[in-house]
Structure 1
Amino acid sequence: LEKHPRLYWGYRLVALAFTADMQDPAYAETLDYAKATGHLDRGITEFPEDDYLLLAQAYRYRAENDLQKALNYIAKLKDPNTIQSNYYFIYDLCVQSKNAQVYGSIMDKLLNSSIAAREIDSEQAKQSRLLFMLAFVKDSAGLIELERYASQNPALMKNGEALLYMADTNLEYDDSERAVEYLRQAVAMGALQYPEMKNYSKNTALKSSPAWESLLLQSKSAWEADAPRRAADLLQNRSTISAANWEMKDLNGFIHNFADLRGQVVILDFWAQWCGPCKLAMPPLSKWVQTEMPEGVKVYSVNVIENDYNKAKDYFRENEFAMEYLEGNSDIEAAYKVTAIPHIVVIDKQGNIAWEQVGFSYDLEEKLSIWAEHLLAE
């Protein structure tokens, strides 16, 4: 750069290295930092709209506690990929400086990019922006400003996710009365149902709320009355795809063979130790195996897409899950088209895939009972 002060790629490499080095707080005290900032100043003069240089300067001035100057550089970013890969840094900077305007402009760039890529439509972008701003207001200004923001944006009160966020935030502040009101609205619009409400009952503030108990009882009654319709809906869209054969080892190294399971209903739970939703699904699945699973059903938790199989085995043993552990591999992932987890596959007595569920749901136990009992009766 000393010999070629207009060499763009030199400045870009400096910017990339600087941004990485700034992950270490001690770097700002080194001689390398002083040298790099000199290059960055020259680079931003030569290429004032380059996102790599703009981002590096933002990291620099945040470290120097000049938040306004850091925000000025962030506001000029244009590339959605650069913004996305540095989202948490940008978010924290905007929260620290309480600058909703810059954060909003950044979110607009990300959402407009998603619209252009046809990943979402304009209405979904509008709802997403409201939700992102909801979290931003809470983190930057607290509950009072959050309530004010919600009241100024009535569309939020028609969004189930926003209502639950408002309820959760009020519970954080021990305001059970306001929380119950938001939960009541979420129930009324179908965004919150009885199985998930039972999880809310663990909250200490709600345990002492008569309004919550009343809402819980009403929801339980409505849920039970709706059981026939849910069962009918669940049994629709059954497939008859032949399930792929497999051989997999359990925790003790014993090999289980799918061919030996003909005549039984088989449930495969594809999971990984690092997967948060999988960890939500496994306790209720284990409870179902122990207390509700009918005779003639086998349940296997197939460990896939795993970073550390030994760690996964330890996790499975420590939690004493009632399912049978199986160590999966890329072949089984491909055979059952596992691209997201948890992934539940329900297989009938003839060896055909009848139903599948991807993702966690609070009514998993009910679904498994309905599916299993129907297949056993065939």
Structure 2
Amino acid sequence: MFSFFRKKPAATPAPAPEPAQVQAPTPTLPPATPPATPAPTAAPAAPASTPAPAQPAAGGLIGSALVQAMDIPVAPPVAPERQGWMTRLTAGLRKTGSNISQVFTGAQIDDALYEELETALLMADTGVKATEHLLEEVKRRVKASGATRPVQAKNILVDSLTQLLKPLEKPLVIGQFQPTVIMVAGVNGAGKTTSIGKLTKHLAGEGASVLLAAADTFRAAAREQLAIWADRNMVEIVSQAGGDPAAVSFDAVTAGRARGKDVVLVDTAGRLPTQLHLMEELRKIKRVVQKADATAPHEVLLVIDGNTGQNALAQVRAFDAALQLTGLIVTKLDGTAKGGVLAAIAQEKPVPVYFIGVGEQLEDLETFDAREFALALLS
């Protein structure tokens, strides 16, 4: 299984310098011109009917060579261990991708295609700025490459979207701190507690010892829900019935340090960014966690629901202003036709996306890869 996180590698001694290599002298080639007096037994010329090796037509190339010459990217194959995930991701993004892919079913690249593409991107909640950026890139590269077929424009869009999303790629690193304290926030219904449970499973599966902090003391049954995940994953949990969220978080970080845990995951109460008094409670949790560990929290993650489209971007802005986010988990991309919101985030508020989810199963939450996402979206 592909790792959901990367531990900080241990320091290794610098390799010894390799001995200098002596370049072998270049052999002298025989002269390319035939000798002045040809041998009497020279081979006869090949018959005119003998087929010559296949050569590209003058002024053009064939197959993938044509694609390369026209600056139309050919995506490398997906790693075998990611094929299953790509299948699920493609199926999950079908509602978004089908609307965009239909733009490229015509016979030529013209103004009508660009107008339809603009509409499709906006309908996918790509956002005005990201849509303008992608359109400009596609037009520029189509003109530079001389592409004439819509499928070529589609390939260019895949590459342009990949480049736009690339800054969002970042691995979740644990091991630099003992423990790594991860604070998780999000609005009600975004899938926050479930995502914590899935992340716990994968962290524990990779050998990390995890301690959960049930600091969501506002929502009914939140503590019980997290306790179920703790039982399933056979990890410890710190909770208090009706306790103060900041106090629970403090106790969990303190316990994590005393017990030598690798990770402490703090589940906070769901809230809307417009609920200022509750947002202040999040700030309080962060301040109190820092009293238990001056370097913590080491990661502040926001879980956003892909169904909410542009509202997700507003949530990123608000929670980042309050907590200084370090990463995102985007869930429920399979239930929406608004998967383009990641492009809007990349263009306007590029907070790294650690994980994306396209279903309720454990394996439906995976690390984010820009190229995989672009290919799945526009397959």
If the TM-score is normalised by the length of the shorter chain, which range does it land in? under 0.3
Higher-Rg member (1/2): 2
Instruction: Name the structure, 1 or 2, with higher relative contact order (CA <8 Å, separation 6+).
Output: 2
TM-score (norm 2): 0.25
TM-score, normalised relative to structure 1: 0.25
Per residue, is there more helix in 1 or in 2? 1
